[in-house]
Amino acid sequence: MNCSFRTFLVFALAIFLAGCAPEPFVRAPLPPLRSPDAAAMRQSFLRSLPNRKVTFDDTVIIEPPFHDSISALGELVIDRQAGTFQLVGLDHLGVTLLQISGDSHGSTVDYAVPELIEHKDLLIAMGQDIWRMFFDLVPTKTAKVEFADNAAWYSEDTPDGTLIYELGGNPVVLVQKYLDGFFGAVWRVRYYQYASSDGSLYPYGIVMDNSRYHYRIIVKNRAMQ
């Protein structure tokens, strides 16, 4: 078996396994849309997003291909006004495993134990996916819109592919967003649950699938402040 064909088989199997992974959360069915207004739905969700700095206590589960899942306790600080995040991952004894921070320009590994720093490129990619989970959540006003029975789909072209948002529910929330490339979704983040506090909505059941690096990140928010 030549190298290129073997590489293709590994790539195809990784995508197949990611597609067959069971969902860790249950989402309530979306209600049907009645006389939907794309601009009003977009604005409703935009108004519900918190503008203050928020600290989440999370359980972060990483599911790499052909490897057991990795679970860590996390303190995740999201500053939407500054456009920044910081994630500190701890083991179950409270020992710091890694610290990643970033913004729209990229992510930085501030610290990682030796076993993890060997995979620095992967950690940087995960940091970028953490940013995607909590920022750039609202489609632009110029996005193209199509309606389904229970959701509105917004799409906009980017240099890397087509960025797609699905909005639905009552109140309106972001159900998922993903980057559609030549071979399908490059990455996809889905929001299964939201919590309401102080008039704002906070996601607390998130799944990110990255087909470029073939991993899944599951974020279970345990508390926030």
Overall size of the chain counted in residues: 225
pLDDT at residue 100 tops 90: yes
- Condensed to tens digits (0 to 9), the pLDDT of residues 111-121 reads 999 988 998 99
User: First-to-last CA distance in the chain?
Assistant: 54
pLDDT at residue 218 tops 70: yes
Compute CA distances 102 → 70, 128, 201, whole Å.
Answer: 22, 7, 22
Average pLDDT, the chain: 88
**Residue 116 resides in a domain:** yes
Question: Can you give the CATH number for the domain in which 207 is found?
Answer: 2.50.20.10
**Residue 91 resides in a domain:** yes
Among 203, 221, 206, 209, CA closest to 73: 221
Instruction: Provide the domain count of the chain.
Output: 1
What are residue 57's DSSP bridge partners?
75, 223
CA dihedral 111, 14, 178, 128 (to 10 degrees): 10
66 pLDDT band, cuts 50/70/90, is low
Question: CB neighbours (10 Å) of residue 34?
Answer: 5
Residue 112 pLDDT: 95
**Which residue has better confidence, 22 or 177?**
177
Among 1, 73, 38, CA closest to 166: 38
User: Of the ranges 16-25, 142-151, 161-170, which one carries the lowest mean pLDDT score?
Assistant: 16-25
Residue 70 pLDDT: 84
Range of the domain at 67: 34-224
H-helix or E-strand containing 186? strand 184-197
**Residue 115 resides in a domain:** yes
**Which residue has better confidence, 217 or 224?**
217
- Condensed to tens digits (0 to 9), the pLDDT of residues 7-57 reads 333 333 333 334 445 678 888 899 999 999 999 999 999 999 998 899 999
- Taking the model in full, what pTM does it have? 0.86
pLDDT at residue 1 tops 60: no
Sheet holding 173-181, edge to edge: 106-112, 96-103, 84-90, 70-79, 53-63, 215-224, 200-210, 184-197, 173-181, 161-168, 152-158, 144-147
User: Of the ranges 25-29, 76-80, 122-126, 173-177, which one carries the lowest mean pLDDT score?
Assistant: 25-29
- Condensed to tens digits (0 to 9), the pLDDT of residues 79-94 reads 999 999 999 999 989 9
**Residue 29 resides in a domain:** no
**Residue 26 resides in a domain:** no
**Residue 25 resides in a domain:** no
Residue 4 pLDDT: 40
pLDDT at residue 198 tops 60: yes
